[in-house]
Chain A
């Protein structure tokens, strides 16, 4: 494209940029205003789950630096390992409460089916990731769990690929493969939440639906939220 031309470029970078921008409406990536029904604790547990996951990843990275046996011989390693465990406990507790809340609200309403599915897949993937964590403790606990799990997995024909008695494989799955897959699923889940907006309680109407516009076309955020919709939360413009 020559300088000064107003014709849109056919470059793949432009198409990619427009596609990325179109995924989530402008102003919805990090909104400072939400519908009034979001003022409920039940909506807090999603982001609480993300916060716990962030700490799980951070403490896991530190454990990777120290090595798989570090926590056995070093008090700092033992402390970091313990916080890694307890952040996982909190992660699952928050995620289950989030799951219950979204289930009773039928959070798949309003074309949010894929958001629900990615959340469910993330839940199942988290169980698998935590399971390989138990197998990576390098102690009698991990030996016991692996010997108990092998028969069940072998009966399903999984053992040929996923061998719980192979400590190296379990450790690599736990610190590399599963976190990568789970991370992608979580990112997709969060992007879908921002794309479609949080689900309104049953009986309530989402601002975008009330305005007669699909949620994907509510942009920019501030104008319709103030002028057209009787909902606000947070700082006024």
Chain B
């Protein structure tokens, strides 16, 4: 029978005072933070059907935060 992962070895834990977290969970949290920052900072690719610059219908009249997600 195949044993479920995580049972064969002892996971590494990082401890700081009362806080304790496994390295695996810390990596997952770090990846989520990187994903979040990338979602805010990485430009969204333009498609073939996107409006061309200068088209009056496509001028951004929204506020300063428009077109940049949550920035």
Instruction: Report if A233-B50 is in contact (Cβ < 8 Å); known contacts: A41-B38, A210-B61.
Output: yes
Contacts of A203 in B (CB 8 A): 62-66
B contacts, CB < 8 Å to A? 1-4, 6-7, 28, 31-32, 35-36, 38-40, 42, 44, 47, 49-51, 56-71
Flag whether A6 is at the interface (Cβ < 8 A).
no
What is the CA–CA distance of A41 and B32 in the complex, to the nearest angstrom? Answer: 14
**Cα distance A139–B71 when bound, in Å?**
46
- Give 9 nearest A-B pairs by CB, closest first: A203-B63, A40-B69, A204-B62, A203-B65, A42-B69, A41-B39, A201-B65, A204-B66, A42-B39
Q: How far does the alpha carbon of A204 sit from the alpha carbon of B70 in the complex, in Å?
A: 10
Most buried by A among B32, B42, B61, B70: B70
Asked if A231 lies at the interface with its beta carbon under 8 angstroms from chain B, I say yes
Q: State the interface size on chain A (CB cutoff 8 A).
A: 40
Q: Say whether A41 contacts B28, CB under 8 Å.
A: no
- SS class, residues of chain B in contact with chain A: loop
**Which residue of A39, A43, A101, A236 contacts B36 across the interface (Cβ within 8 Å)?**
A101
Residues of B contacting A36 in the complex (Cβ-Cβ under 8 angstroms)? 51, 58, 60, 62, 66-67
Give the CA-CA distance A203 to B69 in the complex, in Å. Answer: 11
Q: Are B39 and A44 in contact (CB under 8 A)?
A: yes
A204 CA to B65 CA in the complex, in Å? 6
User: Which chain A residues (69-119) contact chain B, with CB distance < 8 Å?
Assistant: 72-73, 78, 89, 93, 96-97, 100-101, 104-105
